[in-house]
Amino acid sequence: MKTLIANFKSNKTKAEMQDWINRFFSFPEAPVEVILCPSSIHLGLFPEHRTARQLVGVQDVSPYPAGAYTGAIAAGNLAGYGVTHAIIGHSERRKHFGETNLEIARKIHESLEAEIIPILCVTKDEIVSQAEAIPLSERERLLVAYEPIESIGTGHTDSLASIVETLQRIRDVFRPQKTIYGGSVSPTTTSEILKNESIDGFLVGSAALDVDKFRSLCDGVS
Ligand code: PGA
């Protein structure tokens, strides 16, 4: 079964998020695992009773434990919100917030300590350097998403051959739980990508903002 991760980024008001959630949970469930990652401020809007395939994640956690770190959301703070996954090291975090590989490794450690599964985002040419600060025992507990920067939000996915080759390199270096592709995935992405057996799932930004598009993507991958 494929995994579809919705990255809402810094989008949606409370009312807009509530509307998305109401509509999504009114649809019949598709045979895919979904991990819905809203802005953390909206976590309390999700229904508490969800199926094992309807998961909720965050888009970041603090590199520090719970404590005197004003403004930060520690992985430990998320207990009780039903959060199972955390996107870590997204290229937008690296670019706009100056996150380093060392900081990302700390975030991974903090997430795992809180029993939250990290979804680590990596690029093609830096797979080894982005893995280096992460101990082997932690690498194999991750989901790793290949996210080419030139494909994010541009409407142009990477080629199937490049995705397949890069995910294999990720498997060699990380031995992760799952390998995911992200970058302009939408319901119009070719079925040879959406249905490819070596791709465990997709990280979806823009196309997740519209609940009907996201739902149609659920059908497209299943
Ligand atoms: P996109 O974003 O689907 O809008 O390209 C993907 C991502 O940033 O994870």
Residues of the chain falling short of pLDDT 50: none
Whether 85 is a known active-site residue: answer no
The stretches of 82-159 forming alpha helices (DSSP H) are 91-96, 101-113, 127-132, 136-139
Look up the pTM and report it: 0.97
Quote the CA–CA distance of 54 and 76 in Å, as a whole number: 21
Closest CA to 163 of 122, 129, 221: 122
- Ligand 1 in contact with 201 (CB < 6 A)? no
DSSP string covering 147-201: --GGGTTTS-PPPHHHHHHHHHHHHHHH--SEEEEESS--TTS-HHHHT-TT--E
pLDDT of residue 111: 98
- Ligand 1 in contact with 183 (CB < 6 A)? yes
pLDDT of residue 222: 87
Ligand 1 atom nearest 184 alpha carbon: 5
The catalytically annotated residue of 33, 42, 85, 90 is 90
Whether 90 is a known active-site residue: answer yes
Which tens digits make up the pLDDT trace of 50-86?
A: 999 999 999 999 999 999 999 999 999 999 999 999 9
pLDDT of residue 87: 98
Q: Whose CA is nearest to atom 3 of ligand 1?
A: 205
- In this structure, what are the phi and psi dihedrals at residue 62, rounded to the nearest 5 degrees? -70, 150
What's the longest Cα–Cα distance across the chain? 49
Q: Whose CA is nearest to atom 2 of ligand 1?
A: 205
Quote the CA–CA distance of 15 and 45 in Å, as a whole number: 10
